[in-house]
A and B are shown apart, each in its own frame.
Chain A
Amino acid sequence: MAEYRLDCLGEACPVPLLKTQKKIEGLKVGDVLIVEIDHSCAMKNVPEWARKVGYNVDIEEVEEGQWDVYIEKTK
C-alpha cells in the first residue's frame, strides 16, 4: 500500500497522461499514485482514463490552477 508522487507540473497534453499510464504499470495492486498536474486539459483526460480502466480516482485542487489526482490501482 505504498504511495508514489508523479510530477507533471509544467507538462502539456498528452505528456501527463502518457507518464501516468507508464508509471502505474510498475505499481502493485493497492498502491496509490498522486499525479501533480497544472494543465487543465490533463485534468480531464487523466481522471477520465483512470476511471475507464476501473481505478479509484480522487481530485484535490491544491492551489489556483494546480491539482493532485489520486489514483488507486485497484486491479
Chain B
Amino acid sequence: MTKLTEHPFFKKVIKDAWSYWTGAMLLAVLNVSLLVVSGKPWGITGAFANWGSWIYRLLGGHPENWTYYAPGSSNAKDLLEQSFLTNNLSVQDIGIIFGALLAVLLASQFKIKKIKSWKQVVAAILGGLLMGYGARLAFGCNIGALFSGIASMSLHGWVFAVFIFLGAIAGSKLLVKYFMT
C-alpha cells in the first residue's frame, strides 16, 4: 500500500503548485461568489487603511475628519460602525493568512527564512510603504483595483493594468541594480 504522502492525488493537489489556469478559474469563481454573498468584489488593502485608522482613533486621533472617510461614504461606515472582526475585508484578509498557512503546512513546506541582507529590509519597508500609499490613491491594490476592477467592467482596472506594467519594468531595473551585485 502506498503512503498517503506518495499518492499521486496527494502530490498533485496538496504538494505541487497548481497551474495558472486552475488558479485563475478558482479566483474567478470565488470572486463571483464573494460578490453575491457580500455585495462587494474582492479587495485586500482597503482593510489595512481601516486597521491603521482604528488604531489611530484608539490613540485619540480623528481619522473621521479625513477626506478618505467623508461623511456618508462606505469608508466612513466601515471606520465608525465596524471592527476588526465584523469588517468583511478584515476577515477576508485573516482568511488569506490562515489559508496560506494551512496550505503550506499540509504540503510540509513551512520554513522560517533568514533575512539575507539589510538591503532586503530596506527594500521591503520602502516597497511596502509605497505600495500602501499607491493603493489608497488608486482606490485599491492589484486585487481591489485591477482584478476586481476589470471583472466589474470598470475602465479604472485597465488603466491600473497599464501603469502596474510600467511600474514592474521600473521595479525590475532597480532590482537588478541593487540585488544582483
Residues of A that sit less than 8 Å from B by CB: 9-11, 14-15, 18-19, 22, 38-41, 43-44, 63-66
Dominant secondary structure of chain B at its interface with chain A: loop
State A43–B108 Cα separation when bound (angstroms): 15
**Which positions 49-87 of chain B face chain A at CB distance < 8 Å?**
none
The segment from B25-33, B110-118, B151-159 that touches chain A is B110-118
A10 touches B176 (CB 8 A): no
Given known A10-B116, A15-B175, contact A64–B109 (CB-CB < 8 A): yes
B104 touches A10 (CB 8 A): no
Give the number of residues in B that approach A within 8 Å (Cβ atoms). 16
The smallest C-beta distance from A67 to any residue of chain B, in angstroms, reads 9
State A22–B175 Cα separation when bound (angstroms): 14
A14 touches B175 (CB 8 A): yes
Contacts of B176 in A (CB 8 A): 18
State A14–B172 Cα separation when bound (angstroms): 9
Given known A64-B108, A65-B104, contact A10–B180 (CB-CB < 8 A): no
Contacts of B115 in A (CB 8 A): 10
B113 touches A10 (CB 8 A): yes
Which residue among B110, B114, B115, B179 has the maximum number of chain A CB atoms within 10 Å of its CB? B179
B111 touches A11 (CB 8 A): no
The smallest C-beta distance from B144 to any residue of chain A, in angstroms, reads 22
